[in-house]
Amino acid sequence: MNDIRDVIIIGSGPAGLTAAIYTARANMAPLVIEGEPSSTSDQPGGQLMLTTDVENFPGFPEGIMGPELMSNFRSQASRFGAEFLTAKVTSVDFSERPFTIEVGETSYKANTVIVSTGAQSLMLGLPNEDRLIGHGLSTCATCDGFFFRDQEIAVVGGGDSAVEEATFLTRFASKVYLVHRRDELRASKIMCERAFDNPKIEILWNSQVVEIQGDGKLSGVILKDTLTEATRSLSVDGLFIAIGHRPNTDLFEGHLELKENGYLVTEPNSSLTKVPGVFACGDVQDDYYRQAITAAGSGCMAAIDAERWLEDHHS
Ligand code: NAP
């Protein structure tokens, strides 16, 4: 168990698995600690496992289902010799090399580590969310807006993400309700003005979604007025939750530098963290683009950075 690996990859979304493909093909025999199926935040495959059709990943002109895409990524990495461990990392020690990664009672050692633990969209915590995600319920307007052409939808949130998504979604939807729990948006002035001026956007102030409805597919929501507590139903074909994201960085607190918002710091235009030999890629260090394709691209960067670093330090 205490063999020293060339590289251990923590996380198995598009970033981690792209890093696995590249490092495997560079003969680095990567071990991918892929997460645990029981957990929504750390499940193998990452956020695309919660998505149905993916139509914007290049190379699939007819689109592909999120889980199938991730299964393809995984098979491709396996084909070149990547090894997988279906488990959650419990702690890391990056204070000396080789680095140590603990999974329960077992320690793994590696000369380089690629961190690709991703991020998760914050959810409302309502009972139907898990069942309806990908079936009318979405957390990504860029990914799923196209499916709501000429339909009525709602966006939850009052920050820049929600207002930006609501505005973007008016390209497709016939009507967008922006559901916000207060009487004032948190978003920047310019974003707010854009939304106020858009005739397709109606802001539902002081409103909270308290129930998401739909059998196979989302059909509407129950809203509660936060001042009067009165409830009413709103029938919509889609609901976008845009109340923020949370990077999966708890493990790295005290070991890697984090930004104020919890995302990992990497050097500009690279995957380098402040710890030489530890690299980060994908949504765990990207609070801006958050796309599968940009995550995959940054996974490739991390693999090349790790390979070159190893060449310079362990040849
Ligand atoms: P955010 O600024 O934290 O806003 C989250 C919004 O969701 C807030 O309006 C909050 O309401 C609401 N919210 C939180 N929990 C909720 C719940 N349980 N139920 C209902 N509503 C809830 O998050 P964000 O909009 O994702 O933005 C994150 C950061 O990225 C910000 O710094 C933002 O400026 C930046 N960003 C920038 C751009 C851009 O410049 N183009 C685009 C997107 C994001 P309250 O207001 O009542 O707290």
Residue 72: C-alpha distances to residues 17, 75, 97, 221, 287 (Å) = 10, 5, 33, 35, 26
Supply the Cα-derived Rg of the chain in whole angstroms: 21
How confident is the prediction along the chain (315 residues), in pLDDT tens digits per residue? Answer: 559 999 999 999 999 999 999 999 999 999 999 998 865 567 799 888 877 788 889 999 999 988 999 999 999 999 999 999 999 999 999 999 999 999 999 999 999 999 999 999 999 999 999 999 999 999 999 889 999 999 999 999 999 999 999 999 999 999 999 999 999 999 999 999 999 999 999 999 999 999 999 999 999 999 999 999 999 999 999 999 999 999 999 999 999 999 999 999 999 999 999 999 999 999 999 999 999 999 999 999 999 999 999 999 975
Q: What does the block give as tokens for 255?
A: 């070991």
211 Cβ below 6 A of ligand 1 = no
Q: Report the nearest-CA residue for atom 17 of ligand 1.
A: 124
Half-sphere exposure of 157 (CA within 13 A, CB side): 23
241 Cβ below 6 A of ligand 1 = no
What domains, with CATH codes, occur in the chain?
A: 4-120+245-313 (3.50.50.60), 123-241 (3.50.50.60)
Of ligand 1's atoms, which has the minimum distance to the CA of residue 158? 9
92 Cβ below 6 A of ligand 1 = no
181 Cβ below 6 A of ligand 1 = yes
Residue 186: C-alpha distances to residues 68, 162, 202, 253, 305 (Å) = 37, 10, 16, 28, 38
Of ligand 1's atoms, which has the minimum distance to the CA of residue 163? 25
Q: Report the nearest-CA residue for atom 9 of ligand 1.
A: 158
